[in-house]
Amino acid sequence: MLQVKTPEEVWELIRAEFVPLPHRSEHVSLPESVGRVLAEDITAEEYVPDFDRSTVDGYALSAADSFGCSESVPAILPVTGQVLMGESADFTLPKGSCVYVPTGGAIPKGADCAVMLEYTEDYGDGSIGVMKPGAPGMNMIFRGDDVYPGKLILRAGRVLSAEDIGALAAVGRTEVPVSRRLRVGVISTGDELVPPEQKPGPGQVRDVNAPMLTAMLGAWGAEVKNYGIVADDEELLRGKMEQAAQECDAVLVSGGSSVGVKDAACRIIEHMGKLLLHGIAIKPGKPTILGRSGNKPLVGLPGHPVAACFVAKLFVLPLLGRLLGREDAQYPVTAELTESVSANHGRAQVNACRLEQTEKGLLAIPIRSKSGLITQLAGADGYFIIDRDCEGLPKGAKVNVFMN
């Protein structure tokens, strides 16, 4: 019999027992790549911009030609032309002159700064007065300032944000190498379960875990294959789990809350591969099983939806992320508890809460929930964790809230 493990030991176990899957990349178009996991480091192959640009509407000139000028003694320079947007400036500015340049326009050779329109006066005779001295590099972006060949733009493993898409567009990477989506098989077990669209008869309840896990995994970026509801029967469950392990990259079985079914799930996992874990010192969520068949995770989640939800967030998503080499840390927000919360189990306790922004700061309103009462989680904004050594938190305590 395996010992119950602390959350930290479980995360350690995940890192030790599972490795990122090799050869899983596919190419998708730029807009499709948002939220996907980058499969390779992206390095630039060119200069961005490919020319020196002005960051203002004004005049390109040699800063030296404006030194010492002021509003009362402007530097007077002939305007020898203008740069048009989207066109090159393939001429050399004669010493002692200037050209008009729009924001984003090219700065010609011979010029080393741009002076804003506001600090110049057009004399109408083909010359201007510069009333504020320039300095080399002023109001300019140089060739390669943004990107140069060989510059590392993004690292493999990153979950691509809109900003990242912008950077990829800037360097012309319109086909993006991303990790293929993981396919996750979801199985619900329990003689008492009926599908959500069915009205439960006496003694029956609707299957909450399959739609909840499907939504969670889908939002995270996995492709979910549902294997429906399996009765509490070891042979039937074994068949479904083996089929799912064949067809998917990971298998989640939820339910089987009775001791017998949990034992059956353990036997099936041992038969299919290796049982790694039986029990996590967390509340709710203790009756969790983890094993693997090769590098494929086989997870037995608690039947209670609230427990299944927390275990999936805390352990299953990081485990799936590990398979992709996915790097996305989640950082908590700090909030103040509006009431005390007791905890006294020798287990870490996960507690859902709502958040409320007030003038005094951000408040965390704990949601009291008997294990299994899923509708009490509806409307929750996040959750916080009370340490196993902590006997509870007083009203006013600061908690770290992880967002849903």
- Interacting residues with a second copy between 70 and 89 (CB under 8 A): 83-89
DSSP 8-class letter at 280 = B
Query: Nearest approach, Cβ of 191 to a second copy (angstroms)?
Result: 4
Nearer to a second copy, 75 or 300 (CB): 300
From candidates 329, 360, 389, 394, binder to a second copy by CB under 8 A: 329
136 makes contact with a second copy (CB under 8 A): no
Nearer to a second copy, 81 or 211 (CB): 211
Concatenate the DSSP letters of all residues of 77-124 into one string: EEEEEEPPTTS---SBPPTT-EEEE-TTPBPPBT--EEEEGGGEEE-S
Site for a second copy, residues 364 to 393, rule: CB under 8 A: 370-380
How many amino acids of this chain bind a second copy (CB under 8 A)?
A: 109
145 makes contact with a second copy (CB under 8 A): yes
Nearer to a second copy, 135 or 169 (CB): 169
182 makes contact with a second copy (CB under 8 A): no
299 makes contact with a second copy (CB under 8 A): no
11: left (phi over 0), alpha (psi -120 to 50) or beta: alpha
319 makes contact with a second copy (CB under 8 A): no
Nearer to a second copy, 31 or 396 (CB): 31
Looking at 153-254, list the stretches that DSSP marks H as alpha helix, in order from N- to C-terminal side: 162-170, 209-220, 234-247
Query: Nearest approach, Cβ of 275 to a second copy (angstroms)?
Result: 21
From candidates 2, 73, 236, 403, binder to a second copy by CB under 8 A: 403
Token pair, residue 107, equals 């700065």
Query: Nearest approach, Cβ of 195 to a second copy (angstroms)?
Result: 8
Task: Write down the residue that tokens 């007030």 correspond to.
Answer: 358
How far apart (Å, rounded) are the C-alpha atoms in residues 376 and 396?
22
Write each residue from 196 to 225 as x if it is in contact with a second copy (CB under 8 A), else as -, in one continuous string: xxxxxxxxxxxxxxxxxxxxx-xx----x-
Distances (CA, A) of 166 to 22, 145, 160, 326: 28, 16, 10, 20
Query: Nearest approach, Cβ of 49 to a second copy (angstroms)?
Result: 6
How far apart (Å, rounded) are the C-alpha atoms in residues 394 and 290?
34
How far apart (Å, rounded) are the C-alpha atoms in residues 173 and 151?
14
Nearer to a second copy, 107 or 268 (CB): 107
Stretch of 1-9, 235-243, 244-252, 327-335 lying at the interface with a second copy (CB under 8 A): 327-335
150 makes contact with a second copy (CB under 8 A): no
Stretch of 20-28, 31-39, 125-133, 177-185 lying at the interface with a second copy (CB under 8 A): 31-39
- Measure CA 339 to chain center: 31
Task: Write down the residue that tokens 């965390």 correspond to.
Answer: 364
How far apart (Å, rounded) are the C-alpha atoms in residues 267 and 273?
10
Q: Which residues contact 166 (CB under 8 A, 6 or more apart)?
A: none
| Residues 365, 353 contacting (CB under 8 angstroms) | yes
- Of 123, 119, 138, whose CA–CA distance to 70 is shortest? 119
Token pair, residue 104, equals 């984003």
From candidates 30, 76, 365, 397, binder to a second copy by CB under 8 A: 30
Query: Nearest approach, Cβ of 149 to a second copy (angstroms)?
Result: 13
93 makes contact with a second copy (CB under 8 A): no
As a whole number of Å, the end-to-end CA separation of the chain is 34
147 makes contact with a second copy (CB under 8 A): yes
Stretch of 18-26, 74-82, 91-99, 158-166 lying at the interface with a second copy (CB under 8 A): 158-166
Query: Nearest approach, Cβ of 73 to a second copy (angstroms)?
Result: 27
How long, in residues, is the chain?
404
Query: Nearest approach, Cβ of 31 to a second copy (angstroms)?
Result: 5
Write each residue from 243 to 282 as x if it is in contact with a second copy (CB under 8 A), else as -, in one continuous string: --------------xxx-----------------------
164 makes contact with a second copy (CB under 8 A): yes
- Residue 84: half-sphere exposure toward Cβ, Cα within 13 Å: 2
Task: Write down the residue that tokens 């030194």 correspond to.
Answer: 67
